[in-house]
Amino acid sequence: MISADRQPAPVDRRLAVRKAVIPAAGMGTRFLPATKSMPKEMLPIVDKPVLQFVIEEAVASGIDDILIVTGRAKRAIENHFDFNPEMEAFLVSVGKHELIDQIRDIGSRARIHYIRQKLQLGLGDAIRLGRDHVGDQPFAVLLGDTIIEPPLGQQPGLRQLLDVFEARRASAVAVHRVPQEWVTRYGVVDGEPEEGSPDVFRLRRLVEKPAVAEAPSNLAIAGRYVFTPEIFECIDATGQGVGGEIQLTDAMNLLAQRQPMYALSWQASRYDIGNRVEYAKCFIDFALRRPETAKAVREHLLKVLADQ
């Protein structure tokens, strides 16, 4: 049982979370040679890059101020979310007016800022770079290479997590159940289900990529977080760990010792675009949801399966 003397963080319940940090500085080595010149966050899912899905989720959840943490060879990210008057003029000249609103909408729905992570010092360091932008406000974190697709009719994944934060005035992390043999790939949480809310867990600790026999659960971190600003002090206190990186899970464990922290287990589909198989699944799933591609893709898949 978690000690009752740990008090919630001093977060004003009236203060809506409006800012988000999106780490997008990883080198994407698992997708070489494609990522030699293209950020993995810009890999297309049908006709839209991965990072655009992430930003659209943030905006749909009420976020309107976004800091993207980039790295070298990531200029394509800034170009994509910038205005392109030459492209707009060309579309006008060829009569493709319906596309103009689509490309204008990309960068107009939120204030997007950028900061470069000069050294690859891990996820904790990438989030720490958002300290000046965030200030003393709570904020969201969305991994730039992870797409979350909730079941039809449900709110965006981040919005569900923000509801947990606002109701409890405490940091929260999204998790999803994975097969037990997969726990070695993820950070896994150890928590106690909240009475009356079986999908919400009060956290005791987090374990980074545990052995199957040592995993406290099969609830894997799903790439969405909401933090109180105290997380920055915890990142500072953890220092560099394995591989010289600053591990976010270490900082979260420290934060969980200082104040309550919660996990929300959701039913949303999670696509880790850093994994080639997950990327292929994501591309196919979204192509099957698009009216203009669904029929042809479905027929092709059936033919491929029949021929095997």
Amino acid 186: pLDDT: 83
Find the mean pLDDT for residues 44-58: 94
- Report how far residue 51's alpha carbon sits from residue 136's, in angstroms, rounded to the nearest whole number: 26
Range picked from 4-18, 93-107, 239-253 for highest mean pLDDT: 239-253
pTM flag (> 0.85): yes
Amino acid 130: pLDDT: 96
Which of 9-23, 85-99, 128-142, 246-260 is predicted with the least confidence, judged by mean pLDDT?
9-23
Q: Which residue has the tokens 């009356």?
A: 196
Of the candidates 292, 203, 303, 297, the one whose C-alpha atom is nearest the C-alpha of residue 253 is: 203
Amino acid 14: pLDDT: 46
Where are the chain's structural domains? 19-274, 276-308
Classify the phi-psi angles of 95: left when phi > 0, otherwise alpha if psi is within -120 to 50, otherwise beta.
left
Q: Which CATH number fits domain 19-274: 3.40.50.620, 3.10.450.50, 3.90.550.10, 3.40.50.300?
A: 3.90.550.10
How many other β-carbons are positioned within 10 Å of the β-carbon of residue 244?
A: 10
Tens digits of per-residue pLDDT, 204-246? 999 888 888 888 898 999 999 999 999 999 999 988 876 788 9
What band does 289 get if pLDDT is binned at 50, 70 and 90? Answer: very high
Coil, strand or helix at 176: strand
pLDDT higher than threshold 80 for residue 287 = yes
Tens digits of per-residue pLDDT, 63-95? 989 999 998 877 889 888 888 888 888 888 888
Amino acid 96: pLDDT: 84
Coil, strand or helix at 218: coil
Beta strands in 209-260 (DSSP E): 219-227
